[in-house]
Structure 1
Amino acid sequence: MDYLFGRKPAVKVVPTDRVLPLHFFEDSPLVQGNNMAVSLVFDSVLDPEKLRLALEGLVKRPGWEKLGGRLRTNGAGKIEWHIPNEFTRERPAIGFSHVDHGMSAASHPAACKIPQPSTRPARVSDPDDLADLAWEPGYRPGGIKDYLTSDRPVLGLRVNSFTDKTVVVLQWQHVAFDALGMQYVVEGWSNMLWGKEADIPTPCDAKSDPFDAIAKGTRTATEQHVLADRRVGLVGILRWGLGYGFDMLVRAKDNGMVCIPETYWRPQLEKAVEELRAEAVGRGEDPSKVFLTEGDILTAWTMSCVVRSMGMSPDRLVAGSIAMSLRKAFEGDLIPASTERPYVGNAFGWANVLVSAGDVSSKPLSWLARQVRKAINEQGTRAQHEAYYAMVRASNTGLPIAIIGNGGMAQIGFSNWSKAGLFDLDFAPARRHAGEGDAPCRPCYVQENHGPIKPVDGFFVLGKDDKGNYWTSACKVKGQWAELQKQLDKDFEVAV
């Protein structure tokens, strides 16, 4: 009957597989709706077998086997992990493919579009132009269902070889890990490549969900969330869903990669800190306590550019949703220290910045950066994360998020992957040509592709390259990138 109606039949269960339930953060459409691919571009020719053996070796280590797991639906319709008792040639630890294109990257129709850094903030490329390098040609991700009808490992590696470059692609279903979980994976992969197996920690045991107490509310929140009175009710959620949800699920979108040179963002950061310290002195406060991170200024600047490029009504609410890892807040409580046993999975919370479009447009960038820092400081504590997920349970939407703001707000999302250290990876042991000496072999460019769920104005900060340039990508409603680029140009002209 499956073939009759064009459905793929379910994959047979292997009796010797270890079966585990999905954890709380894995069991939601928000996560299951995205298959992920991170492309690392190296200006060197790398040995694909060395890369494969190193990643396979990591997954075969005790505690890491879950990354070689398969995904199955049980008789009750619930998705489960099925982890092979032993990885074999027939059931490998990772998915792997290698394509030797036999030409320079500049001669390839997709690879020739790998961007170079810009000297001013600019959209330099469309990451989807490299989709046929990130995935099998013609494949477009369909979410977790792509993994339920095959014996496909949840983690994959695709290596594209050119005569002068290598595009190394790490693929995974989002249930496997989030951005900080990816950090542990790529660090372990690098250590395997360098022969530093002794430096690889054993992850938390995958048998139990350490965040079960948050999911079920068995541990009562000790305080109210600072934005509890701004939680959107059912009518507001419906209104918000008809707007933002329609943009995300129905309207045509364009992807874009923005390069932000250090010569631009660093003066913005220094100016913002200087202004905030001057304000502190005026209030009789200690200016040395003023603190902003590079991420704070990038988040504030991006929010400002998006809002001003769209010509929003001054009284419209703008909600900046900043993804945060729960690991630091719950180390020593629900999970051990990451240096001892890292949690390789999904564990995310949110900081929400609520401001009016008028304030964003009229006030200095330092003001908005301070709102970002304040939100992260106030909402990033253990007690506030517990309070947030108490709101999630009360919302009963089936999503691991609470909608905060109002039904007519403009939503801008942020996920900063800088801590994953993708630009810091050194794959020198995989070089094929020994003539390049002992110099590090680091990515010159990093991008991500995902799908099928693509939130509008959801910005991924991929990190900072060795020249100090930040790279960030997002999908926007078709036609809006031109307006945003005009705003980037205006900001640059004012700054210089």
Structure 2
Amino acid sequence: MEPIRGDQVVPLHFFEDSLLVQGNNMAVSLVFDAVLDPERLRESLEGLVKQEGWQRLGGRLRKNTSGKIEWHIPAKFSAERPAISFAHVDHAIPAASHPAASQIPKSQDRPCVVGDPDDLEGLAWEPGLRVNNFTDKTVVVLQWQHVAFDALGMQYVVEGWSSMLWGKAAEVLIPCGLDSDPFHSLAQGSRPTTEEHVLTDRRVGLAGLLPWGLGSGVDMLVRAKENRMVYIPETYWRPQWEKAVEELRTEAIANGEDASKVFLTENDVLTAWILRCVVGEMGMNPERTVAASIAMSLRKSFEDDLLPASAEHPYVGNAFGWANVLVTAGDVVPKPLSWLARQVRRAINEQGTRAQHEAYYAMVRTSGLSCLGMVAWPKSAFPIGRKLACSIWTFPRLARV
């Protein structure tokens, strides 16, 4: 498609030009126990997109004559070409009387399944910003295409939006410039790696990937899909976290090590807990390998190298890598939760360095499977096929490396 006169045309970057993010719509829902002004929400988000460095978020995705997707960013936003898509629905009833809003999960005092996210789609799936007003609540849904930004990028967007909403436009940081791809050298391998990936000897090639892909494909076609939301209150996970830390500190003292260096995040413990819940119910062979793939942001690892400091110019785009935890099914349930949480933390610490990320993507390039997109990349670092019991992806709020 020919660009409109004056539009800035920007190609997709390395992390955007993949099957994992293209065509993948994301949505985050914010529920407020108050009736908010939809116009203020719209105006503040539009104001953010119009701020210096944020205009790409108002761009349009178009294919060029070669079939490649590009960003087409209007030189000036207008009513005909707005910065954001916006929809407002005033339901004029209490949320409890609405078929979808009444299904919004409520706080519980124990871990439990709290519903099916598909029950809420009547509130969510509207391009851009959708504001649902009820007489006692407001449900604000922000929808975007994954090519725009990842989970941490969303955090920067929400923070900037909040600043605009409170009249603090001067506090909004100018994002890292995206006219050029900061991860181009990582994608092309123009920087030599300094070490091998720690899981190099566990990688598989095409011969291992094909059986796994065929098995997963058949499973996706045949087995009915079910989505559920799980609620884990702090009153449950915090004691689990405190116990795990205390156990590891006691072990460190017994081994003559510095107990003050013991560190776990709540995500480490939650990931371990989820692994235990899943594996414990499957009754699998104790020798079978279990793999958990943890998504990590690359921002901190490449700060002051490929990226500027996030505190000055945040990277509002896609920049993610993976840490893969490999354990056997026989170790997941019998051993203490602290042991399993430490395996999660160790994987993040070992595989989350700049050198390991570079080694990982070098491994992808030489695998000959990069044409499949990033869907195959997390799998290239651990055994698959009959030896893979399950794969759990989590997104740590705190990935200290």
TM-score > 0.5, shorter chain as reference: yes
Letter in 2 for 1:186: V
Letter in 2 for 1:414: W
C-alpha deviation, 1:241, in angstroms: 1.3
Confirm whether residue 333 of structure 1 aligns to residue 305 of structure 2. Answer: yes
* Matched-pair contact (CA < 8 Å) for 1:31–1:174: yes
Per the alignment, in what secondary structure is the counterpart of residue 359 of structure 2? helix
Taking the aligned partners of 1:209 and 1:260, their CA distance within structure 2 comes to: 38
Give the 5 Å matches for 1:424-439: none
Per the alignment, in what secondary structure is the counterpart of residue 350 of structure 1? strand
Higher relative contact order (CA 8 A, sep 6+): 1
Partner of 1:54: 44
Per the alignment, in what secondary structure is the counterpart of residue 29 of structure 1? coil
2:83 to 93, 97, 107: 93
Unaligned runs of 5+ in 2: none
Partner of 1:431: none
Partner of 1:414: 393
Identity, % of aligned positions: 70
Cα distance per residue 1:268-308 (max 9 Å; x no partner): 11111122122212222122211111111011111111111
Taking the aligned partners of 1:280 and 1:257, their CA distance within structure 2 comes to: 36
| Residues 327/36 of structure 1: CA separation in 2 closer, same or farther (3 Å cut) | same
Per the alignment, in what secondary structure is the counterpart of residue 344 of structure 2? helix
Per the alignment, in what secondary structure is the counterpart of residue 75 of structure 1? coil
* Matched-pair contact (CA < 8 Å) for 2:33–2:138: yes
2:382 to 398, 405, 408: 405
C-alpha deviation, 1:244, in angstroms: 3.3
Taking the aligned partners of 2:317 and 2:222, their CA distance within structure 1 comes to: 30
Per the alignment, in what secondary structure is the counterpart of residue 362 of structure 1? coil
| Residues 414/278 of structure 1: CA separation in 2 closer, same or farther (3 Å cut) | same
Partner of 1:78: 68
Cα distance per residue 1:240-276 (max 9 Å; x no partner): 2123344456632111111112221111111111221
User: Which stretch of structure 1 is more off in the superposition, 12-21 or 198-207?
Assistant: 12-21
Per the alignment, in what secondary structure is the counterpart of residue 32 of structure 1? coil
Q: TM-score with structure 1 length normalisation?
A: 0.77
Taking the aligned partners of 1:55 and 1:250, their CA distance within structure 2 comes to: 42
Q: TM-score with structure 2 length normalisation?
A: 0.94
C-alpha deviation, 1:418, in angstroms: 3.7
| Residues 320/276 of structure 1: CA separation in 2 closer, same or farther (3 Å cut) | same
2:93 to 103, 107, 131: 103
Please identify runs of 4+ aligned residues in structure 1 that moved more than 3 A.
244-251, 417-420
| Residues 169/309 of structure 1: CA separation in 2 closer, same or farther (3 Å cut) | same
Taking the aligned partners of 1:67 and 1:246, their CA distance within structure 2 comes to: 37
Partner of 1:196: 168
Per the alignment, in what secondary structure is the counterpart of residue 183 of structure 1? helix
Per the alignment, in what secondary structure is the counterpart of residue 55 of structure 1? helix
Q: How many residue pairs end up in the alignment?
A: 392
Taking the aligned partners of 1:322 and 1:304, their CA distance within structure 2 comes to: 16
C-alpha deviation, 1:366, in angstroms: 0.9
C-alpha deviation, 1:12, in angstroms: 6.1
Confirm whether residue 374 of structure 1 aligns to residue 346 of structure 2. Answer: yes
Partner of 2:337: 365
Letter in 1 for 2:381: I
User: Which stretch of structure 1 is more off in the superposition, 280-289 or 200-209?
Assistant: 280-289
* Matched-pair contact (CA < 8 Å) for 1:159–1:168: yes
Taking the aligned partners of 1:360 and 1:245, their CA distance within structure 2 comes to: 27
Taking the aligned partners of 1:342 and 1:250, their CA distance within structure 2 comes to: 43
